[in-house]
Structure 1
Amino acid sequence: MSKIIHVLAFPNVQVLDVTGPLQVFASANDLARQRGLSAPYCVSVIASQSSPIMTSAGLALVGEPLPAIESPCDTLIIAGGWGVYGAAEDHELVDWVRQKAFLSRRVTSVCTGAFLLAATGLLDGRRVATHWTRCEELAFKYPKLKVEANPIFIQQGDVWTSAGVTAGIDLCLALVEEDLGQARALEVARHLVVFLKRPGGQSQFSVTLSLQEGGSRFAELHAWMAEHLTLDLNIATLAMQAGMSERSFVRHYRAETGQTPARAVELIRVETARRQLSDGAASIKRIAQQCGFGCEETMRRSFLRTLAVTPQAYRERFS
């Protein structure tokens, strides 16, 4: 039988927190039907207020009324968005979530949906993920939670929480993997043209994105670096590629990115190696060569310095 998935929305909800999870399960259904199989999921958007539900993006959603507490539910997904604060103060809604979660196989929150789930008390004593800009606020408001800023998503038994926005897609791909297996989850990820099906424990921050927080002056250089990791990416090479003198390049690069060029090269190499360790079966020696480390020991030292874990331990945990 199809697993019943309810996505809880509310006024001023973030649209991608709703539609991202919906599309993951819809794609799993589409791919199953193409094989002549029955749809594995029956998904609906629910809300305590009558439709339409206005999202913070200005797009109205049509939702169904809250189902009866005792009605079947496999997975309850609580979306996030600016409206979550009002939802978390709605005592009737909080009580409904608490009871419904207790009778569901698993309950999840996407992004700031953790605030509503935390209001039920179900997250007390648990490790919790939410949008990185709301971690301190969540920890302050609910001190019994163990809020973590880094993970994309966290699973603790039958309770899952995710980081911000698109991390809800990562979380739901993990739910599909738990239900249908890794091959089917990867197929859904490819169908959605998701760049990488990221394990929950990986960082929610992209190195190249972080390097561009101060501006996009070196965006093309970072893309070039990622494509030429096997080269000797020394100061002279990078300055020439950027069209600057070495002294000017070093000064401007550090001022804009907050990193030395050498450290940036190391971070990009580590991030690329992480993806290869997670996704492929290539040997650590070969990955070290492909990412420009030269040898396993150099990559090992970089991993320990950057992630406090060896490449082998990283592969065992996240592959």
Structure 2
Amino acid sequence: MPSFYAKPEEKTRTVAIVLFDRTKLIDVTGPLQVFNDARMPCGQPAYAIQLLSETGGLVVTDTGVALDTLPFSHAVSAPPDTLLVSGGQSALQAASSQALLAFLADMAGTCRRLGSICLGAFILARGGHLDGRRATTHWEDCAQFRDAFPAIDVREDSIYEQDRGVWTSAGVTAGIDMALAMVEEDLGRNEALRLARSLVLYVKRTGGQRQFSAALDQQIRSSSDRFDALVTEIRANLAADLSVPRLADMARMSERNFSRLFTETMGASPAQFIEELRVDAACDALQRGDVSVAQAPFLFGFGNPERLRRAFQRRKGISPSDYEARFGPRRPEAT
């Protein structure tokens, strides 16, 4: 049967990734691996991948590993379905390349999807492709991004954003999450989840969630590593008694001294810290489908459904059941 009669999901799509000198290697290879491994329902590769640069040839990445590329002119003559701009610190310099900006301007009207990985968002922004749109980038550079491009609705907590066909992702490995979301859009949730399992991803994160887990966020805010061992114990026993008297005993400190030092060190009171960890763990379990909303209060130390509901409202702004409906596993798609 001629290819033009094929169903959309049975057509091989071309994904092109733009590189520049000292681009971050994983910003390229992470999404590349996802698209390379994706399969159509017939079992054939779903994507053909191209690496592009201004002049073509070898591009040396930030690791010193060189990747072979095709010149921009190749894509101009045969526009890809999806065009992604890689990232890394050198993206800030690449954003001033007139050749790159002109190429993206040409591609914007012909590609179905335009996107960036990590700091590649600065390049899209410089070309005006994100004006009036939601967008994200690496958390360390969100403030600079917002100041430099006030016309963009910067979402610093997002893993990725998609707004009217233009995609942006947060730092580094978030490009993998974005690529999985693109695969889901093209081929369905089952194929995206198959890839996530195949790539041994801990959890398939979803756009609109924070760039960090609660535990990592707290570690970043922490002023020292004084309570690292205690935090490890807490995370392993979220359903246990984690009251201040119990925690103070575990830390071999008086309750008053423990509460004061913990709050100063971690930037949150013991109760706030534990609630955040419990909510984060419950979210992960609900997203994977490991537990039900009815089981979560007892498995993660909330004690009863009402305390779970209130904690979710404080931390996520939605109820546990709404969270499960939005981010939890869906029923298998009809074939």
Report the TM range for the smaller structure's normalisation: over 0.9
- The AA in structure 2 aligned to 1:15 is L
Separation (CA, whole Å) in 2 of partners of 1:242 and 1:293: 22
Q: Which residue of 2 aligns with 1:59?
A: 65
Would you say 1:37 and 2:47 are equivalent positions? no
Q: How does 1:271-290 map to 2 (within 5 A)?
A: 271-280=280-289, 282-290=291-299
How many pairs align? 315
In structure 2, which of residues 177, 184, 191 is the aligned counterpart of residue 184 of structure 1?
191
Would you say 1:136 and 2:143 are equivalent positions? yes
| Unpaired runs of at least 5, structure 1 | none
- The AA in structure 2 aligned to 1:207 is A
> 1:79 offset after TM fit, Å?
0.8
Q: Which residue of 1 aligns with 2:8?
A: none
Separation (CA, whole Å) in 1 of partners of 2:287 and 2:132: 29
- Partner SS, residue 273 of structure 1: helix
Question: Are 1:278 and 1:318, in contact at CA under 8 Å, matched by a contact in 2?
Answer: yes
Question: Are 2:79 and 2:107, in contact at CA under 8 Å, matched by a contact in 1?
Answer: no
Q: Which residue of 2 aligns with 1:298?
A: 307
1:49-99 deviations in whole A, cap 9, x for unaligned?
443212223322222222242414111111111111222111121111121
1:146-169 deviations in whole A, cap 9, x for unaligned?
111111111112111111111111
> 1:251 offset after TM fit, Å?
3.1
- Are residues 253 and 51 of structure 1, via their aligned partners in 2, closer, same or farther at CA, if it must alter by over 3 Å? farther
> 1:223 offset after TM fit, Å?
2.8
> 1:277 offset after TM fit, Å?
2.6
Question: Are 2:30 and 2:175, in contact at CA under 8 Å, matched by a contact in 1?
Answer: yes
Question: Are 1:285 and 1:295, in contact at CA under 8 Å, matched by a contact in 2?
Answer: no
- The AA in structure 2 aligned to 1:249 is F
Runs (4 or more) in structure 1 with deviation over 4 Å come to none
Q: Which residue of 1 aligns with 2:54?
A: 48
> 1:245 offset after TM fit, Å?
4.1
Separation (CA, whole Å) in 2 of partners of 1:68 and 1:193: 33
> 1:192 offset after TM fit, Å?
1.2
Q: How does 1:168-179 map to 2 (within 5 A)?
A: 168-179=175-186
- Partner SS, residue 151 of structure 1: coil
Separation (CA, whole Å) in 2 of partners of 1:165 and 1:140: 22
Question: Are 2:54 and 2:99, in contact at CA under 8 Å, matched by a contact in 1?
Answer: no
TM-score, structure 2 normalization: 0.88
Q: Which residue of 2 aligns with 1:13?
A: 23
Aligned-residue Cα RMSD (Å) equals: 1.9
Separation (CA, whole Å) in 2 of partners of 1:247 and 1:57: 49
> 1:36 offset after TM fit, Å?
7.3
After alignment, is 293-302 or 54-63 more displaced? 54-63
Q: How does 1:1-319 map to 2 (within 5 A)?
A: 1-29=11-39, 37-66=43-72, 67-213=74-220, 214=222, 215-280=224-289, 282-319=291-328
Separation (CA, whole Å) in 2 of partners of 1:96 and 1:207: 40
> 1:247 offset after TM fit, Å?
3.8
Separation (CA, whole Å) in 2 of partners of 1:28 and 1:223: 36
Q: Which residue of 1 aligns with 2:332?
A: none
Separation (CA, whole Å) in 1 of partners of 2:194 and 2:246: 40
Separation (CA, whole Å) in 2 of partners of 1:88 and 1:118: 9
- The AA in structure 2 aligned to 1:253 is F
Separation (CA, whole Å) in 2 of partners of 1:40 and 1:138: 34
Separation (CA, whole Å) in 2 of partners of 1:308 and 1:183: 28
Separation (CA, whole Å) in 1 of partners of 2:303 and 2:180: 34
Question: Are 1:152 and 1:199, in contact at CA under 8 Å, matched by a contact in 2?
Answer: yes
Separation (CA, whole Å) in 1 of partners of 2:179 and 2:141: 21
1:240-275 deviations in whole A, cap 9, x for unaligned?
333444344333322221111111110001101112
1:33-61 deviations in whole A, cap 9, x for unaligned?
xx972111111211114432122233222
